Amino acid sequence: MTDDTILKGFKDYFDADIPPHLRQLIIKRFLKNLTDFANVLEKTELRMYSASLLFVYEGSREALEKALAREEEELKNSQEEDEDENDDDDYENGNSYGDVVGDDDDADEDDVGPSSCKPTNMKMIDFAHSYFAKGIGKDEGCLLGIRNTIKYLTMLLDVEN
């Protein structure tokens, strides 16, 4: 990839059979992931060599729409549960902090099931040669890559509009 071909590479990657508004939603989600990741790296003295970011999204229109609807429903249910937990029953099923005793808080987030299929997902991979570098400062090279990815995805959004 070169400066001249990178935007086309991203465009090709996001060229699934989905409508433009859903493609834009996917790109915006990845931009949020990247921005959050960059904010963490800004505050972390870490060195990463040969690390990569893996971007995964549902490319089937029907499956994407179902996953988004399921995600919205789960968010709604989660908010309702939070409201219910904030009522005066903090001691009923848990400790004094309202935590439910005996729930499996260590559930593996990579378990595959109907509610674990996300419409989008970004993961850092290939980071075996990473280490904390106390006193050296943030990893400017890694941040440069993330900022450039943000720049190109933002450019892709502008082209989409």
Same domain, 54 and 66: no
CA distances from 78 to 25, 75, 84, 89, 92 (A): 22, 5, 10, 17, 19
Same domain, 2 and 54: yes
Query: How many Cα atoms within 13 Å fall on the side-chain side of residue 152?
Result: 19
Tens digits of residue pLDDT in 79-135: 888 877 766 555 454 444 344 434 444 444 554 455 567 899 999 999 888 999 899
Same domain, 76 and 113: yes
Same domain, 68 and 54: no
Handedness of CA 143, 144, 146, 151 (dihedral sign): positive
* The model's pTM: 0.76
Same domain, 67 and 54: no
pLDDT confidence tier of residue 45, bands split at 50, 70 and 90? very high
Give the CATH number for residue 136: 3.30.470.160
Same domain, 148 and 138: yes
The number of distinct structural domains making up the chain is 2
Closest Cα to residue 93, out of 104, 83, 85?
A: 85
**Residue-range definition of the domain harbouring residue 32:** 1-58+126-161
